[in-house]
Structures are given as C-alpha cells and as structure tokens.
Structure 1
C-alpha cells in the first residue's frame, strides 16, 4: 500500500499568496490514518515575510517542515530541487504559492497515483484542468471520455502536479543525459520554445515529447490559478481561473490505452482517436491541426479551411473534433494538403470568433457603433475648429514653403 503523498509548497516573495494557499490546504480533506507531511520551500528573496508566514502556519495533519533557501536559486533550480525531494519522500504533490486547492484535491491525487502507477505512458498527474490553449490563444475543450475523470495531454503540469519517485527519476535521467539545450528537438510548440531560460516546464514538456509521454489531467479541476504578480507575471490576471471541484466523487480513472481523449503538446487530438470515432478516416495517414498552429508542410492534415479536401466537415460542433467524429459534412474543416499560415481574412477571423465565443448582443453592437460614431464626430469637429482658426496672425506667410508642401503632398499621393 502506498504511503500518503507529501505536500510541497513552493514560494518566493508573495506572502499574501502563500497565506491564501496554506489556508485552502488547511480546509481540505485528508486520510484519517498515516498523517500528511507538509514541506514549505521558500527561495531567498531578501524579504523575511514569507518565512514568517510559513513558520507561523499551524499544520494539524502531520509533520511540517520549512526550508529557507540561503541563496537565490531561481525558479528552475528551485522547482528541480523540490522535485528531487521525491528521493526522500516518495510521492509528492507540488503547489506553487499563487494556487488555491479544492477541498478534495488530496483524495483525487491519491486515487490518480494508484491508478497510473503502472502506466508506462503517464509521466505525472495534473490537478489543474486546462481550459485554454496557450499556443493558439483559444479556448480548449477536451472531448468526452466516458466515465473517466481524466484526459491525457502531452504538456507537463505546473499549476498543481503530482509525481511519484519513478516519474521524477525518468525526467531527471533525461535531463542529465541531454542537458537544457532543446534547440534541435522537433515538435515543440513555438510559444513553449520561446519561454525563458528560467523555465523548468519547457524542459519537462520536451521530455514528454521526446518519449511520447503524457500527464493525466482532470476534467473537473482540483486547483485554480490566481495569476498573482510574480517572477513571470507583472500584473494579476484571472485568465487562468477555473472552477474547482466542490463535491466528492468515486474517482473513476480512465485507462490510457482505452482513452479517446489523448492530446499532443499543441492540444490536438490524436489521429487514432478520430479514426476510432469516424471509420471514414481509417485509411488516411494524417496530422490533426484544427487550431492551425503546427508546421505540417505537405503532410495530409485535418485543419480549419474553406478549401475542398479529400473529406470536409462543418465547423459547427464543440469541441471541433465532434463535427468530424459525427461526420457532419459542410465547410470549415478539411482533410487537405496545403500551407496553413495563409493570411486570415476579416471573414475567417469573424467566423473563428463566432465559433469559439458567441455573437455579441444587439445592445453591445449598438453601444460599440455609438462609441465609434461619437469618436469620429468629435475628431471631425476638432478638425473643423482648427481649420476655422487658421494660422496665427503672427506667423509670416511663406508662399515658397506652401508650394513646397503642396509638391510634397502630390509626391506622396503618387507613391
């Protein structure tokens, strides 16, 4: 029987954020037996306040340990050092200080660890449910996966993650063999490749890509992110706030090999899943590029397009894959060979907005039109006043300059 996973809280210089996370941890549900160890690791910021918060926090569920780093490690090295605590503690749940947990996060983590301990494709467990594709800057909606609590995504989790000792050893071995230079690794989304050198997450995600591994993500999130200002965020943001679980459940964890909901690092559904859902696709070798962020070259791809392809589907159901799964013929999605990065027209941008979001209300449209017309009117009145005022009486007239300006104006208009 596995021992209870250890909680590891990572902080730096956000005492209010740390207090909020610790309070949410204190209200969560934990096993009656065995106790739960809490480790609070604080990087050196020169500010003693986070340390005071950590030392004063009462943890009634087991042993509490506070690690105050003597020198500044930086985010990458700090997270790596906390992951290395798996050698001492075994299974760990890692939480950065701008998170907030569901009361049932610990129950979920224990069930997920037990379910995937022998799954060679699962390299970690996320407590956060992704609802936004950062690479495409569009909403993400995983398809239904039966009674499973999880879907699978080739993106390492950083907003609440669970690692076994074996999970972490696999990543650490890869990192020691390959180092931090990932410039020659293919298949990394461009936004992830552009993350700063202080990012440990892009290294972990690269490890997943090179070994075809995945994290198990929950449909119902067990953490949410407050987006507090910190090392990589200058202003607070609610962009990554998601609903968190408020009720206990029986935690049915889907088997990876039977799952339909398997996504790559671009948040694109696996071709094999679509082939299982729509037999018309079974004889095709293709890539899925519905968000349009992959460089597919001349490869056959399922993508958003108005072009006629070998097969065509309507861009109508949500998530997009369901139009393909249910063979809804129409326009908007095609199985084609063509470059994706053609300039978007105003019409295609509008259609994309209309699909992912919704039509603005008549009231909102009228308000926007009124604001636009008012701005144009004010600009025109200002121009008329300036024209009526004319040049200052104290300004000497220079016909030669006027002629020169007129000539320049004609020259510009003829370009």
Structure 2
C-alpha cells in the first residue's frame, strides 16, 4: 500500500506526463501525415517535408542555404548588395555567405603604373570592406582570386553541392535583394523540392528577377495574366538565381565533357547564341542554355505585377553593360506587399513555357481510353491527328522526327509505344504519349492473343495503334500513321488526302497510312477487324514467311484492308517524296514538289544519319536534341 505522503507527488507526475503526451500529439496534428511520419521516423527521405498554409515552413535538419556573391571591381555595387543581403529576414536559420572576388586584369607596367596603383587601391578597399563586413547569420567565406578569370569561371566555379540538401543563391555584385527574399525562397524550396507531390526533376531552380526577355528569335511576347504569380520558363535568370543541387552537378559534368571535346554551345534560333558568337567565353549563360535545352529543364519565375521583383539589378557598368543603365525593376518589400507572398499553388496548376514563350504541357502520358479522348481533342488540327509508332524506330531517329515537326510547326501528333525511359522522357518534355501496355489493359481480347517475344511486340503495336485509330474515328478525326521510317520535308506533307472517293491511303512498304474520318471507314474499322489484323500478323510471324521490312502495323493493316476488298489509294512514293535506296551515295535532290523522305523499314542508324544529313534533314546533335529553337507564334 502506497503511503498518503507519496500519493500527491505521483498524482502531480501523472498530470505532467498526461500534459506532455497531449501537447506532443496535438502539435503533430498541426502537420500533414507525411510530416508527422518524418518527425517520428527521421530516417525518411527529405521529400516527405512540405509546407502547409498556417504552419511553419518545413525543411529537413540538414538543409543548407549558401549565398554566392560574385564580385569584381565595383565597390559601391558590392557594398549595396551585401547590405541588402544582411537586411533580409532569415528568422533563426543559419545562412552562409560566400564572396568570390575576381582579380583585376594584368596591367602593362610600361604605360600603366598609375592605372595599376588605382587597381591595387580599389582591390584593397573592397577586401577591407568585405573583411570588416559583419555577417551574423552563419559562416562568411571570402575567396580572392590570384588572377582574373572572368564572369564565366566566377559562376561555374562558385559551387559544387556537398549534398542534395544544399542550395546556392547566386547574385552578382550589382544586385539588390528584398528583405523578403529568403522567406520566399525557403517556402518555394519546401513546396517544390521537398514536397513529393509538387516535385519535378525538370526544375533546376528559381529566378527572383522580373521576367522581361524571350530568348527565342521571333518568339511570343512575354504576356502573363494578372492572377499568375508563379510560372515556369526555361530561361536561366542571372539576377538572383536559386540553383538546385542535382541539375547543377549534371550541368557541370555536361559542361566539362563538351568543353573537353571542343563542342560549342551553339543553339540556332536563340538571341543568346548571337551573344556567344560576339563575346565568346566571357559569358557562361549560352552553355547553361544549351544544357537546359538538351535536357528540357525549367526555372521557376515570379510575376508580381507593376514591375516589382524580389531581386533588382542596378545594371552597373561591367561585362554586360558598357555604362550604368539603372534598376530594371522596383524592389518588393513589406510596404508594397499587397498579397500573400508565401501562397504557392500546386505544381500541376502552374503554366510552363519554353524559350519561345510557348506553353508546354508536361507529363501528358495516356494510360487508359478515358484519358485518350481529351488528349485527341487537345492535339487535333483540322480534325486530323498523326500517330507516331515508336516500336520499330531508333530513339535518335524519332527525336529527329520531332525536331523536324518543331521546325514545320506540326503539333497535332501523339507518340505510341511500350513503357520505357524513352517514352517517359518524351512525356516529361511535353510530347503527348500513349503507354500501350496500360492502354491495352482495357481491351478484353488483348490477353487472348498469347504471343511471346518479338511477336508480342508486334501484336501490341497493331492492337494499340488499331484501337487508337478507332477512337479517332469515333471522335470524327482522320488519322495518319507513321511507323518511324520517313520524315516530312514540307508543312503540307500531311495534307495529300484530298480525293474524297478514297477513305484509305497507303505507302505500305514505307510505313505510311491515312484513315479518313467517314462512316464507311468507321464501319470497316471495328474491333473484329483490328483483331483480324493482329491474327494475320501473328500467323506470318510464326511461319517466318515475312521479311523484317514488313513487320510493322501499316503493312498488316494495308494487307487486311485489301483482303477485305477495301479500295486503297496507293501513295506513289517517288512522285510524292524521295526514297532513300540501299545504294544511296550522292546528295538527295529534294525539289519543291517533294513532301516526304522515305526509307526501307529497319534501316541502320549510321546509314540514315549520313543520308539525311546530306539532305539537310538531320537536325539533332550529339545530345539527341534539336540543333535549333524554332519559334512559331501561338
């Protein structure tokens, strides 16, 4: 039996324990379930952290934020920049400051002793100021170079991330930042980097400068609605750029490889390429822009209206400006803040724009017939859709095809293929794709085909393309089918089917088929017909009676149509286009009347590349990305 003298302490201890338990669990209820899990189980990945309205901005314990200030010989600019950084609100966070001071260029002592003295004096003045500058928020690090390296090296050598939780905010010395900038960037990192539901590997960072410039020649005007505060745009911003660690490491390795191989960052159709041809290695942005283009990466931008921004460049005289041009924007601060700065929409609600400021819609990957209908409606042009089969085509050849489509402004296409990294990457880049395995799960008879290996691959191609054509007919759309062994020469390559007496046009051996939207075609193209095409293919593959050049959808569909007595208009390849023969050696004469280049199905890549290069129709580079940005007004 417990003595009465000990009951009171035990009772008080129990009350205190109950209070702690209740407080702890009520506090956890303030956070989303994934955040609670990350607190209780600290071994979870950083992606479980997220920001929620009304709660603190959450980042993992090893989150590191480093400010990289790039300076040269502008004392007044640097002092203004550092003071604005020190005046920002960092809460209780540890934020590091790294200042990189480039050395002045060598001076000819025979005629420039006075100039040398002034430069030495200016350098000492800058170093004295930086040494005495108080940074109470974290580590202050100063790197004073022994020789002049220029702006490119200042950027490229400023940072190598030590972890995937380290972020760099790079500012040149003529910048001034808002006191609100850090809280905004931290919230942005929490929302779009650590929140797995908002994360995209296509995002390489965020720019705080006011968007003003479209880099693609003849691109659209940079116009945004008043309700758009955040959007994504491919162009890097040099006036206050936040960099994410993984894309920056990837860029540095890409840069090293291309620099070592003497591959220049030339991207035709870009204003920035003109800068590079004029200024060469004095600037770094053309390198990063070429990298962004090859990977299809995007940058988060702000749109705060009335020319306001969280980072303002004073455009002082230097590498980029011969003479001082003055502030490019108005600095957003507490006195001019008339909205919730930390309110950030889900990533799925933000708009994405390419270098031409043309909207891009990423992750358009169809996995069911219910998802297919709205996609068909969104891509069709003049009630016509182009279906690109990726089954038998080289990835590089298919990317070349898409670059030619961009050059001709052909946008009414869909790619169909088996699930693969290639298909997923195309979807990430904004190309509409159909995952045929998942699509065919909704087709009851698919499992009855029972094929293996290459036979199964052909059957999947026939069934998926066949049923997508049927969906097009149901929606009153005509469709072209291309199996990867042709490229369009002219913009009217897909407008030849103008004879109303025919519903089907075919270049059987070259893998090109047109199905007109009509009642007659719909009556023919039914489920039973599609399965008969697949059965015919299966039988031919099993008895090995078919050459490899005919193992594609168009051949079997054309054969089955003829077997059923359907009238097909045969496309005369030599009058309609140019056919690359096996003995092709000389430059191809395209002519004004030619619309398409054909080649035998399954032709080797090296052979095709040389043949198409001689015709000016090979438009991908060593990164399998387009050699040019071609802007067409939306």
User: What band does the TM-score fall into relative to the shorter chain?
Assistant: 0.5 to 0.7
How do residues 253-268 of structure 1 correspond to structure 2 at under 5 angstroms?
A: 253-256=344-347, 258-268=348-358
The whole-number CA distance in structure 1 between the counterparts of 2:168 and 2:162 is 6
Cα distance, 1:153 vs. partner? Answer: 0.7
Secondary structure at the counterpart of residue 204 of structure 2: strand
Counterpart in 2 of 1:397? none
By percentage of residues, which structure has more helix? 2
Secondary structure at the counterpart of residue 68 of structure 2: strand
The whole-number CA distance in structure 1 between the counterparts of 2:200 and 2:362 is 19
The whole-number CA distance in structure 1 between the counterparts of 2:300 and 2:322 is 30
**Which has the larger displacement, 217-226 or 181-190?**
181-190
Secondary structure at the counterpart of residue 53 of structure 1: helix
Q: 1:209 aligns with which of 284, 293, 310?
A: 293
Secondary structure at the counterpart of residue 5 of structure 1: strand
Counterpart in 2 of 1:282? 379
Does 1:97 find its partner at 2:173? yes
Q: 1:225 aligns with which of 313, 327, 335?
A: 313
**TM-score of the two chains, using structure 1 as the length reference:** 0.61
**Which has the larger displacement, 14-23 or 162-171?**
162-171
Counterpart in 1 of 2:127? 51
Counterpart in 1 of 2:66? 6
* Native 8 Å contact 1:224 1:244 kept in 2: no
How do residues 313-352 of structure 1 correspond to structure 2 at under 5 angstroms?
A: none
Q: Which has the higher contact order (CA 8 A, sep 6+)?
A: 1
* Native 8 Å contact 2:214 2:221 kept in 1: yes
How do residues 247-396 of structure 1 correspond to structure 2 at under 5 angstroms?
A: 247=337, 249=340, 251-256=342-347, 258-270=348-360, 282-284=379-381, 298-300=408-410
Q: 1:22 to 1:61 in 2, by over 3 A?
A: same
The whole-number CA distance in structure 2 between the counterparts of 1:163 and 1:238 is 26
Counterpart in 2 of 1:234? 322
The whole-number CA distance in structure 2 between the counterparts of 1:241 and 1:69 is 32
The whole-number CA distance in structure 2 between the counterparts of 1:281 and 1:272 is 14
Does 1:176 find its partner at 2:256? yes
The whole-number CA distance in structure 2 between the counterparts of 1:216 and 1:249 is 18
Q: 1:111 to 1:237 in 2, by over 3 A?
A: same
**TM-score of the two chains, using structure 2 as the length reference:** 0.41
Structure 1 unaligned regions, length at least 5? 287-294, 303-336, 339-415
* Native 8 Å contact 1:44 1:71 kept in 2: yes
- For 1:269-326, what per-residue CA distance to the aligned partner results, in whole angstroms no more than 9, with x for missing partners? 33789xxx9997631389xxxxxxxx96543589xxxxxxxxxxxxxxxxxxxxxxxx
Secondary structure at the counterpart of residue 103 of structure 2: coil
When Rg is computed on C-alpha atoms for both structures, the one with the higher figure is 2
The whole-number CA distance in structure 1 between the counterparts of 2:217 and 2:332 is 24
Task: State the superposition RMSD in angstroms.
Answer: 3.7
Structure 2 unaligned regions, length at least 5? 1-59, 105-118, 194-198, 364-373, 387-404, 413-490, 493-634
Counterpart in 1 of 2:483? none
Q: 1:212 to 1:187 in 2, by over 3 A?
A: farther
Does 1:152 find its partner at 2:249? no
The whole-number CA distance in structure 1 between the counterparts of 2:90 and 2:78 is 20
- For 1:110-169, what per-residue CA distance to the aligned partner results, in whole angstroms no more than 9, with x for missing partners? 1122223242010111121213436569962334666xx421111112111112322321
- For 1:23-68, what per-residue CA distance to the aligned partner results, in whole angstroms no more than 9, with x for missing partners? 1112111121x42211111011244132222112122222222111
Cα distance, 1:172 vs. partner? Answer: 1.2
* Native 8 Å contact 2:217 2:270 kept in 1: no
Cα distance, 1:219 vs. partner? Answer: 1.7
Does 1:38 find its partner at 2:119? no
Secondary structure at the counterpart of residue 158 of structure 2: helix
The whole-number CA distance in structure 2 between the counterparts of 1:130 and 1:175 is 26
Does 1:20 find its partner at 2:80? yes
The whole-number CA distance in structure 2 between the counterparts of 1:182 and 1:268 is 28
* Native 8 Å contact 1:43 1:71 kept in 2: yes
* Native 8 Å contact 1:10 1:96 kept in 2: yes
The whole-number CA distance in structure 2 between the counterparts of 1:182 and 1:219 is 36
Secondary structure at the counterpart of residue 177 of structure 1: helix
Cα distance, 1:205 vs. partner? Answer: 1.3
The whole-number CA distance in structure 2 between the counterparts of 1:206 and 1:105 is 28
